[in-house]
Structure 1
Protein backbone atom coordinates (compact mmCIF):
# COMPACT_ATOMS: atom_id res chain seq x y z
CA UNK A 1 0.00 0.00 0.00
CA UNK A 2 1.26 3.46 -0.86
CA UNK A 3 2.60 5.61 1.94
CA UNK A 4 2.54 9.38 2.27
CA UNK A 5 5.73 11.10 3.35
CA UNK A 6 6.99 14.34 4.83
CA UNK A 7 10.15 15.14 2.89
CA UNK A 8 13.37 16.81 4.05
CA UNK A 9 16.03 17.78 1.54
CA UNK A 10 19.75 18.56 1.60
CA UNK A 11 21.08 19.23 -1.88
CA UNK A 12 20.63 16.11 -4.00
CA UNK A 13 19.74 14.05 -0.97
CA UNK A 14 16.25 13.69 0.46
CA UNK A 15 14.72 11.88 3.39
CA UNK A 16 11.06 10.93 3.55
CA UNK A 17 9.28 10.15 6.81
CA UNK A 18 5.94 8.35 6.52
CA UNK A 19 3.17 10.38 8.13
CA UNK A 20 0.91 7.77 9.75
CA UNK A 21 1.20 4.96 12.26
CA UNK A 22 3.10 3.94 15.37
CA UNK A 23 5.93 2.69 13.15
CA UNK A 24 7.28 5.22 10.65
CA UNK A 25 9.05 4.32 7.41
CA UNK A 26 12.21 6.31 6.70
CA UNK A 27 13.54 6.46 3.13
CA UNK A 28 16.76 8.17 2.02
CA UNK A 29 17.25 9.04 -1.66
CA UNK A 30 20.07 10.47 -3.77
CA UNK A 31 19.16 12.07 -7.10
CA UNK A 32 15.72 10.49 -6.81
CA UNK A 33 17.04 6.96 -6.29
CA UNK A 34 16.47 5.07 -3.05
CA UNK A 35 19.68 4.64 -1.03
CA UNK A 36 18.29 3.12 2.14
CA UNK A 37 15.06 2.48 4.01
CA UNK A 38 14.20 1.48 7.55
CA UNK A 39 11.38 1.55 10.10
CA UNK A 40 11.55 3.39 13.41
CA UNK A 41 9.17 3.67 16.34
CA UNK A 42 7.13 6.84 16.67
CA UNK A 43 8.88 7.55 19.97
CA UNK A 44 12.23 7.85 18.16
CA UNK A 45 10.94 10.10 15.40
CA UNK A 46 11.74 13.41 17.11
CA UNK A 47 15.37 12.42 17.62
CA UNK A 48 15.67 11.30 14.00
CA UNK A 49 14.20 14.53 12.62
CA UNK A 50 16.45 16.54 14.92
CA UNK A 51 19.47 14.72 13.48
CA UNK A 52 18.30 15.51 9.95
CA UNK A 53 17.98 19.22 10.71
CA UNK A 54 21.44 19.32 12.27
CA UNK A 55 22.83 17.73 9.11
CA UNK A 56 21.39 20.55 7.02
CA UNK A 57 18.16 18.96 5.82
CA UNK A 58 15.20 21.32 5.36
CA UNK A 59 11.50 20.41 5.15
CA UNK A 60 10.34 20.80 1.54
CA UNK A 61 7.13 18.77 1.17
CA UNK A 62 4.42 18.11 3.73
CA UNK A 63 2.76 15.35 1.72
CA UNK A 64 4.52 13.36 -0.99
CA UNK A 65 4.58 9.94 -2.61
CA UNK A 66 7.65 7.84 -3.31
CA UNK A 67 8.13 7.00 -6.97
CA UNK A 68 10.67 4.39 -8.04
CA UNK A 69 11.44 6.52 -11.09
CA UNK A 70 11.46 10.01 -9.64
CA UNK A 71 11.94 9.81 -5.90
CA UNK A 72 9.62 11.94 -3.77
CA UNK A 73 6.97 13.89 -5.64
CA UNK A 74 3.54 15.36 -5.03
CA UNK A 75 1.76 13.36 -7.69
CA UNK A 76 0.67 9.75 -7.47
CA UNK A 77 3.35 7.36 -8.84
CA UNK A 78 0.71 5.78 -11.07
CA UNK A 79 1.24 8.86 -13.25
CA UNK A 80 4.72 7.51 -14.01
CA UNK A 81 3.47 4.07 -14.94
CA UNK A 82 0.73 5.45 -17.16
CA UNK A 83 2.68 8.30 -18.74
CA UNK A 84 0.42 11.00 -17.32
CA UNK A 85 -2.72 9.15 -18.39
CA UNK A 86 -4.80 10.17 -15.38
CA UNK A 87 -6.47 13.56 -15.19
CA UNK A 88 -7.42 13.59 -11.51
CA UNK A 89 -7.37 11.29 -8.54
CA UNK A 90 -8.49 11.55 -4.93
CA UNK A 91 -8.05 9.65 -1.69
CA UNK A 92 -11.44 9.00 -0.08
CA UNK A 93 -11.78 7.24 3.24
CA UNK A 94 -13.87 4.49 1.63
CA UNK A 95 -13.31 3.52 -2.01
CA UNK A 96 -16.53 1.51 -2.26
CA UNK A 97 -18.56 4.42 -0.93
CA UNK A 98 -16.84 6.80 -3.33
CA UNK A 99 -17.66 4.60 -6.31
CA UNK A 100 -21.27 4.29 -5.10
CA UNK A 101 -21.62 8.09 -4.83
CA UNK A 102 -20.20 8.60 -8.32
CA UNK A 103 -22.59 5.97 -9.68
CA UNK A 104 -25.52 7.65 -7.94
CA UNK A 105 -24.58 11.03 -9.39
CA UNK A 106 -24.16 9.52 -12.84
CA UNK A 107 -27.53 7.77 -12.64
CA UNK A 108 -29.20 11.16 -13.02
CA UNK A 109 -27.46 11.57 -16.38
CA UNK A 110 -29.05 10.45 -19.63
CA UNK A 111 -26.61 8.12 -21.37
CA UNK A 112 -27.07 5.89 -24.35
CA UNK A 113 -26.10 2.29 -23.68
CA UNK A 114 -22.51 2.45 -25.03
CA UNK A 115 -21.87 5.58 -22.99
CA UNK A 116 -23.26 4.09 -19.81
CA UNK A 117 -21.19 0.96 -20.39
CA UNK A 118 -18.06 3.13 -20.61
CA UNK A 119 -18.98 4.72 -17.29
CA UNK A 120 -19.68 1.39 -15.60
CA UNK A 121 -16.45 -0.05 -16.98
CA UNK A 122 -14.54 2.89 -15.50
CA UNK A 123 -16.11 2.39 -12.08
CA UNK A 124 -15.38 -1.34 -12.21
CA UNK A 125 -11.70 -0.65 -12.86
CA UNK A 126 -11.38 1.05 -9.47
CA UNK A 127 -9.41 -1.17 -7.11
CA UNK A 128 -11.34 -1.55 -3.85
CA UNK A 129 -8.04 -2.33 -2.12
CA UNK A 130 -6.41 0.86 -3.35
CA UNK A 131 -6.36 4.22 -1.59
CA UNK A 132 -7.37 6.21 -4.66
CA UNK A 133 -10.06 6.78 -7.24
CA UNK A 134 -8.61 7.85 -10.59
CA UNK A 135 -10.12 9.40 -13.71
CA UNK A 136 -8.62 8.64 -17.10
CA UNK A 137 -7.38 11.58 -19.15
CA UNK A 138 -9.15 10.13 -22.20
CA UNK A 139 -12.55 10.59 -20.52
CA UNK A 140 -12.65 14.15 -19.12
CA UNK A 141 -16.26 13.84 -18.00
CA UNK A 142 -15.14 11.18 -15.52
CA UNK A 143 -12.84 13.82 -14.04
CA UNK A 144 -15.83 16.13 -13.62
CA UNK A 145 -17.87 13.42 -11.89
CA UNK A 146 -14.99 12.50 -9.61
CA UNK A 147 -14.24 16.14 -8.79
CA UNK A 148 -17.88 16.81 -7.94
CA UNK A 149 -18.09 13.93 -5.48
CA UNK A 150 -14.61 14.50 -4.06
CA UNK A 151 -15.20 18.19 -3.41
CA UNK A 152 -18.58 17.58 -1.79
CA UNK A 153 -16.91 15.19 0.65
CA UNK A 154 -13.84 17.30 1.32
CA UNK A 155 -11.44 14.72 -0.18
CA UNK A 156 -8.06 15.94 -1.37
CA UNK A 157 -8.15 16.15 -5.15
CA UNK A 158 -4.94 15.93 -7.16
CA UNK A 159 -4.24 16.30 -10.87
CA UNK A 160 -1.62 15.57 -13.49
CA UNK A 161 -1.86 19.16 -14.77
CA UNK A 162 -1.40 22.46 -12.98
CA UNK A 163 -4.26 24.88 -12.40
CA UNK A 164 -7.00 22.49 -11.35
CA UNK A 165 -10.08 24.59 -10.50
CA UNK A 166 -10.56 25.23 -6.81
CA UNK A 167 -14.37 25.10 -7.01
CA UNK A 168 -16.76 22.21 -7.35
CA UNK A 169 -17.76 21.63 -11.00
CA UNK A 170 -21.44 22.36 -10.33
CA UNK A 171 -20.44 25.83 -9.12
CA UNK A 172 -18.34 26.77 -12.15
CA UNK A 173 -18.46 24.23 -14.96
CA UNK A 174 -16.86 26.63 -17.44
CA UNK A 175 -13.63 26.77 -15.45
CA UNK A 176 -13.52 22.97 -15.61
CA UNK A 177 -14.15 23.00 -19.35
CA UNK A 178 -11.24 25.41 -19.76
CA UNK A 179 -8.95 23.37 -17.53
CA UNK A 180 -9.85 20.20 -19.42
CA UNK A 181 -8.96 22.03 -22.66
CA UNK A 182 -12.44 22.06 -24.13
CA UNK A 183 -12.25 24.19 -27.32
CA UNK A 184 -13.53 27.73 -26.82
CA UNK A 185 -15.90 27.48 -29.77
CA UNK A 186 -17.67 24.53 -28.14
CA UNK A 187 -18.04 26.50 -24.94
CA UNK A 188 -19.59 29.41 -26.81
CA UNK A 189 -22.17 27.19 -28.47
CA UNK A 190 -23.19 25.96 -25.03
CA UNK A 191 -23.41 29.40 -23.44
CA UNK A 192 -27.13 29.88 -24.05
CA UNK A 193 -27.94 26.39 -22.78
CA UNK A 194 -25.60 26.33 -19.84
CA UNK A 195 -27.37 26.88 -16.53
CA UNK A 196 -25.30 27.22 -13.39
CA UNK A 197 -27.25 26.95 -10.17
CA UNK A 198 -26.08 26.10 -6.70
CA UNK A 199 -26.93 22.54 -5.72
CA UNK A 200 -27.75 21.59 -9.30
CA UNK A 201 -27.76 18.04 -10.58
CA UNK A 202 -25.59 16.72 -13.35
CA UNK A 203 -27.26 16.06 -16.67
CA UNK A 204 -26.00 14.96 -20.05
CA UNK A 205 -27.47 14.63 -23.53
CA UNK A 206 -24.40 13.85 -25.63
CA UNK A 207 -21.37 11.63 -25.86
CA UNK A 208 -19.40 10.67 -22.80
CA UNK A 209 -16.35 11.47 -24.91
CA UNK A 210 -17.39 15.13 -25.22
CA UNK A 211 -17.36 16.73 -21.76
CA UNK A 212 -18.50 20.02 -23.27
CA UNK A 213 -21.92 18.43 -23.68
CA UNK A 214 -22.32 18.03 -19.90
CA UNK A 215 -23.86 20.73 -17.80
CA UNK A 216 -25.57 21.28 -14.46
CA UNK A 217 -29.25 22.14 -14.35
CA UNK A 218 -31.17 23.31 -11.34
Structure 2
Protein backbone atom coordinates (compact mmCIF):
# COMPACT_ATOMS: atom_id res chain seq x y z
CA UNK A 1 0.00 0.00 0.00
CA UNK A 2 2.78 2.42 0.90
CA UNK A 3 4.61 1.71 -2.35
CA UNK A 4 1.44 2.30 -4.38
CA UNK A 5 0.75 5.56 -2.53
CA UNK A 6 4.22 6.84 -3.35
CA UNK A 7 3.90 5.85 -7.00
CA UNK A 8 0.50 7.41 -7.72
CA UNK A 9 0.79 10.42 -5.39
CA UNK A 10 4.19 11.85 -6.24
CA UNK A 11 3.04 15.37 -5.33
CA UNK A 12 2.30 14.18 -1.80
CA UNK A 13 -1.28 15.41 -1.47
CA UNK A 14 -2.60 14.54 1.98
CA UNK A 15 -6.26 14.42 0.95
CA UNK A 16 -5.44 11.99 -1.86
CA UNK A 17 -3.72 9.58 0.54
CA UNK A 18 -6.61 9.78 3.03
CA UNK A 19 -9.16 9.00 0.31
CA UNK A 20 -6.98 6.18 -1.02
CA UNK A 21 -6.67 4.50 2.41
CA UNK A 22 -10.40 4.86 3.10
CA UNK A 23 -11.21 3.46 -0.35
CA UNK A 24 -9.03 0.37 0.21
CA UNK A 25 -10.60 -0.10 3.64
CA UNK A 26 -14.13 0.22 2.22
CA UNK A 27 -13.41 -2.33 -0.51
CA UNK A 28 -12.20 -4.88 2.04
CA UNK A 29 -14.71 -3.98 4.73
CA UNK A 30 -17.85 -4.20 2.59
CA UNK A 31 -16.77 -7.14 0.45
CA UNK A 32 -16.62 -10.80 1.36
CA UNK A 33 -12.93 -10.45 2.25
CA UNK A 34 -13.85 -9.43 5.80
CA UNK A 35 -15.55 -12.81 6.29
CA UNK A 36 -12.73 -14.96 4.91
CA UNK A 37 -10.76 -17.34 7.05
CA UNK A 38 -7.43 -18.98 6.25
CA UNK A 39 -6.42 -21.90 8.45
CA UNK A 40 -8.83 -20.60 11.08
CA UNK A 41 -7.39 -17.07 10.94
CA UNK A 42 -10.11 -14.41 10.75
CA UNK A 43 -9.10 -11.93 8.03
CA UNK A 44 -11.75 -9.54 9.29
CA UNK A 45 -9.36 -8.67 12.14
CA UNK A 46 -6.71 -7.90 9.53
CA UNK A 47 -9.10 -5.55 7.74
CA UNK A 48 -10.02 -3.84 11.01
CA UNK A 49 -6.35 -3.08 11.69
CA UNK A 50 -5.98 -1.29 8.35
CA UNK A 51 -7.25 2.06 9.67
CA UNK A 52 -4.70 2.52 12.51
CA UNK A 53 -1.97 1.19 10.21
CA UNK A 54 -2.98 3.74 7.58
CA UNK A 55 -2.91 6.44 10.24
CA UNK A 56 0.64 5.43 11.09
CA UNK A 57 1.60 5.71 7.42
CA UNK A 58 0.13 9.21 7.22
CA UNK A 59 1.79 10.33 10.45
CA UNK A 60 5.15 9.19 9.13
CA UNK A 61 4.70 10.66 5.66
CA UNK A 62 3.26 14.02 6.77
CA UNK A 63 5.00 14.33 10.11
CA UNK A 64 5.65 18.08 9.91
CA UNK A 65 2.01 18.79 9.06
CA UNK A 66 0.61 16.66 11.88
CA UNK A 67 2.98 18.25 14.38
CA UNK A 68 0.89 21.43 14.14
CA UNK A 69 -1.94 19.60 15.92
CA UNK A 70 -0.48 16.55 17.62
CA UNK A 71 2.20 18.39 19.58
CA UNK A 72 -0.40 20.68 21.14
CA UNK A 73 -1.49 19.82 24.68
CA UNK A 74 -5.12 20.69 23.99
CA UNK A 75 -5.23 18.22 21.12
CA UNK A 76 -3.93 15.42 23.34
CA UNK A 77 -6.46 16.28 26.05
CA UNK A 78 -9.38 16.14 23.61
CA UNK A 79 -8.10 12.92 22.03
CA UNK A 80 -7.65 11.01 25.28
CA UNK A 81 -10.97 12.19 26.75
CA UNK A 82 -12.75 11.23 23.53
CA UNK A 83 -11.06 7.83 23.57
CA UNK A 84 -12.22 7.00 27.09
CA UNK A 85 -15.74 8.32 26.47
CA UNK A 86 -16.11 6.21 23.31
CA UNK A 87 -14.59 3.17 25.01
CA UNK A 88 -16.92 3.37 28.00
CA UNK A 89 -19.97 4.11 25.83
CA UNK A 90 -19.84 0.55 24.45
CA UNK A 91 -20.96 -0.73 27.86
CA UNK A 92 -24.12 1.36 27.73
CA UNK A 93 -25.35 0.10 24.36
CA UNK A 94 -26.93 -3.01 25.92
CA UNK A 95 -28.89 -0.78 28.29
CA UNK A 96 -30.41 1.13 25.37
CA UNK A 97 -28.87 4.41 26.54
CA UNK A 98 -26.70 4.84 23.46
CA UNK A 99 -27.87 3.89 19.92
CA UNK A 100 -26.07 1.01 18.22
CA UNK A 101 -24.94 3.16 15.26
CA UNK A 102 -23.13 5.51 17.67
CA UNK A 103 -21.26 2.54 19.13
CA UNK A 104 -20.29 1.39 15.62
CA UNK A 105 -19.02 4.85 14.68
CA UNK A 106 -17.07 4.90 17.93
CA UNK A 107 -15.52 1.57 16.96
CA UNK A 108 -14.04 3.23 13.87
CA UNK A 109 -12.83 6.29 15.79
CA UNK A 110 -11.17 4.39 18.66
CA UNK A 111 -8.19 3.05 16.67
CA UNK A 112 -7.66 6.48 15.10
CA UNK A 113 -7.67 8.25 18.45
CA UNK A 114 -5.46 5.53 19.91
CA UNK A 115 -2.91 6.03 17.14
CA UNK A 116 -2.82 9.78 17.74
CA UNK A 117 -2.49 9.34 21.51
CA UNK A 118 0.41 6.90 21.13
CA UNK A 119 2.15 9.18 18.64
CA UNK A 120 1.78 12.18 20.93
CA UNK A 121 2.93 10.25 24.00
CA UNK A 122 6.15 8.97 22.51
CA UNK A 123 6.97 12.10 20.52
CA UNK A 124 7.28 13.98 23.82
CA UNK A 125 10.17 11.93 25.12
CA UNK A 126 8.13 9.75 27.47
CA UNK A 127 9.55 6.30 28.19
CA UNK A 128 13.01 7.26 26.96
CA UNK A 129 14.38 3.90 28.12
CA UNK A 130 12.01 2.21 25.69
CA UNK A 131 12.88 4.40 22.73
CA UNK A 132 15.27 1.90 21.15
CA UNK A 133 12.70 -0.88 21.46
CA UNK A 134 9.92 1.30 20.06
CA UNK A 135 12.13 2.45 17.20
CA UNK A 136 12.84 -1.18 16.35
CA UNK A 137 9.13 -2.02 16.40
CA UNK A 138 8.41 1.02 14.25
CA UNK A 139 10.90 -0.12 11.62
CA UNK A 140 9.18 -3.50 11.55
CA UNK A 141 5.58 -2.31 11.72
CA UNK A 142 4.67 -3.81 8.32
CA UNK A 143 5.67 -7.43 9.14
CA UNK A 144 4.05 -7.09 12.57
CA UNK A 145 0.86 -5.84 10.93
CA UNK A 146 0.84 -8.69 8.41
CA UNK A 147 1.85 -11.54 10.71
CA UNK A 148 0.36 -10.76 14.12
CA UNK A 149 -3.15 -11.89 13.17
CA UNK A 150 -1.94 -15.48 13.10
CA UNK A 151 -0.91 -15.28 16.76
CA UNK A 152 -3.87 -13.48 18.32
CA UNK A 153 -5.39 -16.13 20.57
CA UNK A 154 -9.13 -16.08 21.20
CA UNK A 155 -10.21 -17.72 24.44
CA UNK A 156 -14.03 -17.66 24.85
CA UNK A 157 -13.71 -18.72 28.49
CA UNK A 158 -11.63 -15.64 29.28
CA UNK A 159 -14.08 -13.40 27.45
CA UNK A 160 -17.01 -14.81 29.38
CA UNK A 161 -15.18 -14.33 32.68
CA UNK A 162 -14.36 -10.70 31.85
CA UNK A 163 -17.97 -9.90 30.93
CA UNK A 164 -19.17 -11.23 34.27
CA UNK A 165 -17.14 -8.65 36.21
CA UNK A 166 -18.14 -5.10 37.08
CA UNK A 167 -17.17 -2.33 34.65
CA UNK A 168 -13.92 -1.24 36.37
CA UNK A 169 -12.66 -4.79 36.93
CA UNK A 170 -13.63 -5.74 33.39
CA UNK A 171 -11.67 -2.86 31.86
CA UNK A 172 -8.63 -3.61 34.05
CA UNK A 173 -8.59 -7.28 33.09
CA UNK A 174 -9.04 -6.40 29.41
CA UNK A 175 -6.01 -4.10 29.53
CA UNK A 176 -3.84 -6.75 31.22
CA UNK A 177 -5.08 -9.49 28.89
CA UNK A 178 -4.52 -7.33 25.81
CA UNK A 179 -1.01 -6.39 26.97
CA UNK A 180 0.02 -10.03 27.39
CA UNK A 181 -1.45 -11.01 24.01
CA UNK A 182 0.21 -8.02 22.33
CA UNK A 183 3.68 -8.94 23.62
CA UNK A 184 3.11 -12.58 22.66
CA UNK A 185 1.87 -11.89 19.12
CA UNK A 186 4.49 -9.23 18.34
CA UNK A 187 7.32 -11.44 19.57
CA UNK A 188 6.22 -14.39 17.44
CA UNK A 189 5.62 -12.11 14.45
CA UNK A 190 9.21 -10.87 14.63
CA UNK A 191 10.53 -14.43 14.95
CA UNK A 192 8.60 -15.52 11.84
CA UNK A 193 9.71 -12.36 10.03
CA UNK A 194 13.37 -13.14 10.71
CA UNK A 195 12.86 -16.64 9.29
CA UNK A 196 11.10 -15.36 6.15
CA UNK A 197 13.64 -12.64 5.30
CA UNK A 198 16.41 -15.22 5.22
CA UNK A 199 15.11 -15.75 1.68
CA UNK A 200 15.58 -12.62 -0.45
CA UNK A 201 12.76 -13.73 -2.76
CA UNK A 202 10.25 -14.17 0.07
CA UNK A 203 11.45 -10.94 1.65
CA UNK A 204 10.65 -9.08 -1.54
CA UNK A 205 7.38 -10.91 -2.12
CA UNK A 206 5.87 -10.47 1.37
CA UNK A 207 7.35 -7.17 2.53
CA UNK A 208 8.59 -5.41 -0.61
CA UNK A 209 12.08 -5.04 0.88
Query: TM range, normalised to the smaller chain?
Result: under 0.3
Instruction: Please identify the structure whose Cα radius of gyration is greater.
Output: 1
* Higher relative helix content: 2
* Higher relative strand content: 1
TM-score, normalised to structure 2, is 0.26
